[in-house]
Structure 1
Amino acid sequence: MDTPSFPPRRAHRARIAVGATALTVTAALLAAPAAQAADPVVIDLVTVNDFHGRLENESGSAAGIAALAGAVDSIREKNANTVFAAAGDLIGASTFTSFIQQDEPTIAGLNAAGLDVSSVGNHEFDKGWADLRDRVEPLADWDYLAANLFDKATGDPILPEYWVTEFDGVSIGFVGAVTNELPSLVSPAGIADVTVGDVTDNVNRVADDLSDGDPANGEADVVVLLVHEGAATTAESSATDPASPFGRIVNGVDDDVDAIVSGHTHLAYNHVIDGRPVISSGQYGEKFSDMVIQVDPDTKQILSMVNTIHDMKVGGVLQYPEDPQILSDIVAPAKKVADEKGAVSLGSITADFNRALQPGLDANGNPALVENRGGESTLGNWVADVQLWAAQQDKPDTQIAFMNPGGLRADMKYASSTATDPDGNVTYKEAAAVQPFANTLVTLSLTGDQIRQVLEQQWQPAAASRPFLKLGVSEGLKYTFDPTAAAGSRITSITLDGAALDPDASYGVVVNSFLAAGGDNFGAFTLGTGKADSGKVDLESAVQWFEANETATPDLAQRAVGISLSAPTDKGYAVGSTIDVDLSSLDFTTTETPAGTVTLSIGGKKVGRADVDRTLTTANDLTGTASLSVVVPRGAKGSTTLQVTTPTGTVAQVPITVYEKTKTTTIGAPSKLFAKKGQTITYTVRVFAADRSAPTGTVVVSDGKKAIAEAELTGKGTAKVTLPALSKGVHLLSATYSGDDDHAGSTGPRVPVIVR
């Protein structure tokens, strides 16, 4: 995938940028005598991002570290002036082979592949800054960079801000940065000593230093930004969207940065924006980028920067040779350890446990179903169940568990994965793939109102990369929400084991250490009291659950349902009135049995039934919708519930108030019982309320079955209306009161009027 030709961009140290296919310089340069022109220095910049410990050549697109090393070597063989760089998330959220050995085989593999430099990503901090500093960095031969991370106490950078290397007298410098959202993506406790600065401001600061002619703060002829932040889609407009975190970086980074190498969103794109390459190589080592940079060694002008993204596999076939030493010395031993540990059977499942899905694009930009962290999932709820069970072994008064969707990195499938793995078998490797972060479980106490705040925080801040993050919740906790309500008032009911949650009472809660520290913007967890780290690791809790319970079956009932009702009166909903009901979140989004239909009851009486539309929605928990209008039945009175049920076991209730309207009596009297044709007749109506209050609203006068006039009642419940001219004959006149919020309607007796 070659970058299209691009025009000269704004000047940077007299830099000249040329097209991707026309590797020529401008006429000004060509005017110089050929004998005096030095040959350009050609540098190959090889980049990857979001490798995530994909050590092995997998059945999908991931080629493995040995093949990636072979690809880099193939570039080096053609050009010794090659630098290998990355944009973060090299480790963390890894496959089992790397995860089970704390990603040390991946670090060794990247060392052997000759990685020179990388920005840090958020996953480098999965085990906290201390682990990165004291374990990962000493193992890594490359430099991790971060221009926007500082020691909270001293204000000093915690990592090198830049790295410079030189080829044939031309220096190329790299500035590293990690997403501004780092505090919400990792356990805040793990970076408690770290201040996260703004990417754009700090990159500009360091890039300016590298370009100011002062060797004391570093100098580079070519400056490349390695940033762990990325575009939401592969469209160029997404990379420049000023409302997005990445768009603000692309638009805000100044001319001292010559190219932007990005990551984090796992997409492959190859843009030239305002004359500057803006690229990402996708994910998992499925692709890599080779940016050929030509620089005039005398003037240090950039003559061209041409980036190409290469597929590691085509049609499932590797396009580059695997490094035999990496295969034998690193991958094979790591796989042996992983196979031994991973093959252990933990228990069994009776059906798939899935994460939620939504329509989207795969790494190649093709339409596909992709993970939806905003949807309720059988996997998320089950993990919450497991963690509640684990906490209760030592602390029986723990009542509720929550699980963050980003902590679930793989589904747990029923189908056999190998010849030695029967259907339904769950191995240690499969369980580890679900929860690879090794978070500990933390118990704490939250009030009912703080739990409500937690659930409200599923709707993320405006600047967050995902608008909604769906928490898995343990069985027994159920809630309803109104997706149309204002922020802070969307949660409409919460029950625990069928009883309404008391806003002022305290409840025992367990969450992983990531959430306990306020990760993913769930700050309400930090309000908890009596916080204690159980020391139980999330994965090991799942192992112990299988030891005790042996078999897991997915719960097909939704634990959260969207219910939006037409507005009640000040008193509630009157008997006989109609309520418009919009329902959502009635279905899961993968292989689960569809709800099919939904039934509504009020006060225990069935009032409506509708089919459920299972069309997948995006970035939210609204899949499974139905709309219907129901009439409040007689017999329902006072504080009661509107209940939603489905054949798949979903039961959701929202409290409503039902009241009986005051009965009324309507009497109408014409001004004349006998009249000549053409005479004016007025009609006086009086509506009496049983409680002697004054009804308001409209009365309609009818001639037989035909309405001929209407009027509004005055404050005394009376109305007078002039009737239209009546034809000769007998007319049976009556008045009908339509009722108001407090008074029931009624119809008066027919009064004959004879017109001669």
Structure 2
Amino acid sequence: MLTARKRVAGFAAFGLAATGVATVGALPAQAADPVDVQILATNDFHGRILPNSYSGDAGAAVLAGAVDQLRTENPNTVFAAAGDLIGASTFESFIQHDRPTIQAMNEAGLDVSAVGNHELDGGYSDLVDRVMADYDPVTNPFGGAEWEYVAANLKMRATGDDAVPASWLTERGGVEIGFVGAVTEDLPFLVSPAGIEDIEVTDIVDAANAEADALRAEGADLVVLLVHEGATSTDCADITDGAFGEIVTGLDGDTDAIVSGHTHLAYDCRVPVAEWSGRAVTERPVVSAGQYGVNLNQLEFSVDPDSGDVTGLRTDVLPLFGNYPADPEVQAIVDEAVEVADELGAEPLGEVADVLNRAKRWTVDADTGEDVLVENRGGESTLGNLVAEVQRWATSSEESGSAEIAFMNPGGLRADLTGDPAADFPRTITYKEAAVVQPFANTLVNMDLTGEQIKTALEQQWQRDDEGDVPSRPFLRLGASDGFEYTYDDSRPEGDRITGMWLHGEAIDPTTAYSVTVNSFLAAGGDNFRVFAEGADASDTGKIDLSAFVDYMAEFAGDTPLEADPSQRAVGVSFTENADLRAGKQTAFDVSSWSMSTAADTKDDELVVMLDGEKVGSFPVDNTVTDSVYDVTGTASVSLELPKKTEGTLTLVGMSTGTEVVVGEVTAPGKPAGLPGPPSWVPAPFNG
């Protein structure tokens, strides 16, 4: 057992004084008062050193201020964490390899943390040789964590030795407290395999029970498991379900509490422990603080100093934003990080030949009553499609999953990519500008989805929450990577609106598995895109969305300015009731979502109808931007008689935008013809 052991200076004095009292001998023995021990815990901080009022992130200074205040109220305090303190961080921390977060946690007095999967984004050697190693301005300028990292279920593959200390033992107020660490058993699928090739991930329950037993043998009065694994629901009734439930129910009675993370959910639960029947405390707390420093877990144990028994327990989840003062020393660290980020953020990444915008719609300003253009998350955009393509490109290597398709949620884009509005094109894009567009530091997750599951993801753009209700944003248009196109008909029943999908001109097959990349937010089913959470062989590549964009700009925008792609991935095609796709027959359909929605976007004045490669008609496009929250910009009404002797594929083409989609197959008279898409998705053929 590799155990990190750290004692406070007062412990020796306490022991000496106790010995002195014992020599008097004349006084009758009296029961000592219980000692109240406090454990404060965080998890999944991910370098969120700045406050964010929108999401409730308190920021590192307020997190430290809360710990300061609560530690002052009870000096018998341990500040602990359940992993992922670093990695997948926002720009101000990310740009310095998370050194600002490490400094902030050092100053806040973090004592111990489990290893999380993101601590291993750079591999095992990066964790032990940089993060855990002593800070040195020359040889290790980005490391220097002063807290203990623990993980009982990480072993060296060659020897079976602990890869990092399995546990940490400390003392507060005469109470011996042991902390056992563990990391999710999914670790091999969440980080680059090459980075942990020398590491074996073992069973959490077996490792934790063995280490807890060893700590008890060393004299621990309290044992706490810090585990980077967590519940998939905040409902305590479900805390014993699934893989995490096996941990909760599998631990023996030597572990007094479970502090968890990884799933970014906040909960404060209790689970009965059969071995504790008849004790003052019979339930084990199972807690998590959620994510990003929004909350702090507080666990207070009353411990009999003579027997070491727990005689009382109180737990709470403490919201931090606006409730605690900022620690001035940590605030200084954050301020300096912002200055460095501003300086480094000025670094040019490349040039753009056009503005890359999010979609827009009109609305009425509530204060002025004037019409204003605002972001429309229901619209397709050049920026959304570009970011999707960036993420496909970044995960196109075999090691990252050989991605064929990528999707991007519109809410993950927080600004347009414009460059300096006063400058002529081409405009320079800086590091900071790119970071403002994607500030969430999501990682890229690759998975396999069948064609049917991809269709489901596109159907889920018409939103329903977990209760089946339509949320405040009823429609979210996913950005899609190059080469992927689809058609839809929103007049059809919900859940059956996607009428065709193609990848590089080939129809998507419902049963074929495709390699798909999304960010970690979508991969968890975020924004009600639940099907992404069902992907097979899902693997967190460890690549951060911003880093992927930086690399893409270096590759494609360093010498030649990057151009916006105005072609549509999604086009609405709705046939009229009597439309017929047989040669010589009259066909008619309405087209929508033919155009992007901002003034900077290239648009078609007309769309061209092609049959078997030959032009058979052209129709005007109305590019009016409306107040609709759906994707409707670029409408046209098509009505024409199909040539009598020509069969083949009927397509729509935009000569200026490059948009091209399949409408359907025109057949000879007497043969059926249907809507676009693979046969299993065609509702019923047109009969004429």
Tell me whether 1:288 sits opposite 2:296 in the alignment.
Answer: yes
Q: Following the alignment from structure 1 to structure 2, what is the Cα–Cα distance between the partners of residues 79 and 178? A: 29
Residue 93 of structure 1 corresponds to 88
Q: Following the alignment from structure 1 to structure 2, what is the Cα–Cα distance between the partners of residues 407 and 173? A: 45
Match 1:141 to one of 143, 146, 157: 146
Tell me whether 1:190 sits opposite 2:195 in the alignment.
Answer: yes
**Distance apart, 1:539 and its partner CA:** 1.2
Task: Note the 1:566-715 alignment, pairs <5 A.
Answer: 635=644, 639-641=648-650, 651-653=660-662, 656=665, 658-661=667-670
Corresponding letter in the other structure for 1:208: N
Tell me whether 1:206 sits opposite 2:214 in the alignment.
Answer: no
Query: For the Cα contact (< 8 Å) 2:115–2:149, is it kept in 1?
Result: yes
Match 2:44 to one of 47, 50, 55: 50
Tell me whether 1:263 sits opposite 2:273 in the alignment.
Answer: no
Task: Note the 1:139-288 alignment, pairs <5 A.
Answer: 139-197=144-202, 202-212=203-213, 220-237=220-237, 239-240=238-239, 242=241, 244-274=242-272, 275-288=283-296
Residue 11 of structure 2 corresponds to none
Query: For the Cα contact (< 8 Å) 1:150–1:157, is it kept in 2?
Result: yes
Q: Following the alignment from structure 2 to structure 1, what is the Cα–Cα distance between the partners of residues 451 and 47? A: 33
Q: Secondary structure at the match of 1:278?
A: strand
Q: Following the alignment from structure 1 to structure 2, what is the Cα–Cα distance between the partners of residues 180 and 591? A: 50
Tell me whether 1:335 sits opposite 2:338 in the alignment.
Answer: yes
Name structure 2 gaps, 5 residues minimum.
Answer: 1-27, 134-143, 273-282, 361-376, 397-401, 458-465, 467-476, 494-498, 510-514, 521-531, 541-546, 673-683
Tell me whether 1:430 sits opposite 2:438 in the alignment.
Answer: no
**Distance apart, 1:404 and its partner CA:** 7.2
Query: For the Cα contact (< 8 Å) 1:227–1:261, is it kept in 2?
Result: yes
Corresponding letter in the other structure for 1:66: A
Residue 7 of structure 1 corresponds to none
Residue 385 of structure 2 corresponds to 381
**Distance apart, 1:322 and its partner CA:** 1.5
Corresponding letter in the other structure for 2:649: T
Residue 22 of structure 1 corresponds to none
Cα displacement string for residues 649-679 of structure 1 (whole angstroms, at most 9, x for unaligned residues): 864327657354389xxxxxxxxxxxxxxxx
Corresponding letter in the other structure for 2:261: G
Query: For the Cα contact (< 8 Å) 2:112–2:168, is it kept in 1?
Result: yes
Match 1:299 to one of 274, 286, 307: 307
Cα displacement string for residues 581-614 of structure 1 (whole angstroms, at most 9, x for unaligned residues): 9999999999999x9xxx998957899x9xx999
Corresponding letter in the other structure for 2:320: M
Query: For the Cα contact (< 8 Å) 1:387–1:401, is it kept in 2?
Result: no
Query: For the Cα contact (< 8 Å) 2:447–2:536, is it kept in 1?
Result: no
Distance of aligned partners of 1:181 and 1:419 in 2 relative to their CA distance in 1, 3 Å threshold = farther
Distance of aligned partners of 1:481 and 1:168 in 2 relative to their CA distance in 1, 3 Å threshold = farther
Query: For the Cα contact (< 8 Å) 1:212–1:219, is it kept in 2?
Result: no
Residue 416 of structure 2 corresponds to 413
**Distance apart, 1:48 and its partner CA:** 1.0
Corresponding letter in the other structure for 2:85: L
Task: Note the 1:51-130 alignment, pairs <5 A.
Answer: 51-57=45-51, 61-130=56-125
**Distance apart, 1:128 and its partner CA:** 2.4
Q: Following the alignment from structure 1 to structure 2, what is the Cα–Cα distance between the partners of residues 51 and 104? A: 14
Q: Following the alignment from structure 2 to structure 1, what is the Cα–Cα distance between the partners of residues 224 and 185? A: 19
Query: For the Cα contact (< 8 Å) 2:40–2:297, is it kept in 1?
Result: yes
Query: For the Cα contact (< 8 Å) 2:448–2:536, is it kept in 1?
Result: no
Distance of aligned partners of 1:95 and 1:389 in 2 relative to their CA distance in 1, 3 Å threshold = closer
**Distance apart, 1:331 and its partner CA:** 3.1
TM-score (norm 1): 0.55
Distance of aligned partners of 1:165 and 1:657 in 2 relative to their CA distance in 1, 3 Å threshold = farther
Q: Secondary structure at the match of 2:64?
A: helix
TM-score (norm 2): 0.60
Match 2:502 to one of 487, 493, 500: 493
Q: Following the alignment from structure 2 to structure 1, what is the Cα–Cα distance between the partners of residues 158 and 455? A: 33
- Comparing both chains, which one has the higher relative contact order based on Cα–Cα distances under 8 Å and sequence gaps of 6 or more? 2
Distance of aligned partners of 1:439 and 1:614 in 2 relative to their CA distance in 1, 3 Å threshold = closer
Q: Secondary structure at the match of 1:298?
A: coil
Q: Secondary structure at the match of 2:132?
A: helix
Query: For the Cα contact (< 8 Å) 1:122–1:179, is it kept in 2?
Result: yes
Query: For the Cα contact (< 8 Å) 1:481–1:561, is it kept in 2?
Result: yes
Q: Larger % of strand: which? A: 1
Distance of aligned partners of 1:155 and 1:428 in 2 relative to their CA distance in 1, 3 Å threshold = same
Cα displacement string for residues 333-388 of structure 1 (whole angstroms, at most 9, x for unaligned residues): 333322211134655797665699xxxxxxxxxxxxxxx9x998754531355689
Q: Secondary structure at the match of 1:124?
A: helix
Q: Following the alignment from structure 2 to structure 1, what is the Cα–Cα distance between the partners of residues 626 and 285? A: 44
Q: Secondary structure at the match of 1:313?
A: coil
Cα displacement string for residues 124-182 of structure 1 (whole angstroms, at most 9, x for unaligned residues): 22222222222112121222223333444445442333323233443322232333443
Tell me whether 1:41 sits opposite 2:45 in the alignment.
Answer: no
Query: For the Cα contact (< 8 Å) 2:39–2:298, is it kept in 1?
Result: yes
The structure with the largest alpha-carbon Rg is: 1
Q: Following the alignment from structure 2 to structure 1, what is the Cα–Cα distance between the partners of residues 60 and 383? A: 30
The Cα RMSD (Å) is 6.4
Cα displacement string for residues 49-91 of structure 1 (whole angstroms, at most 9, x for unaligned residues): 1212123455654333233222212222222211111111111
Corresponding letter in the other structure for 2:295: K
Residue 6 of structure 2 corresponds to none
Query: For the Cα contact (< 8 Å) 1:289–1:307, is it kept in 2?
Result: yes
Name structure 1 gaps, 5 residues minimum.
Answer: 1-33, 357-371, 393-398, 442-449, 462-466, 485-489, 504-508, 527-535, 566-571, 664-739, 746-756
Q: Following the alignment from structure 1 to structure 2, what is the Cα–Cα distance between the partners of residues 105 and 407? A: 29
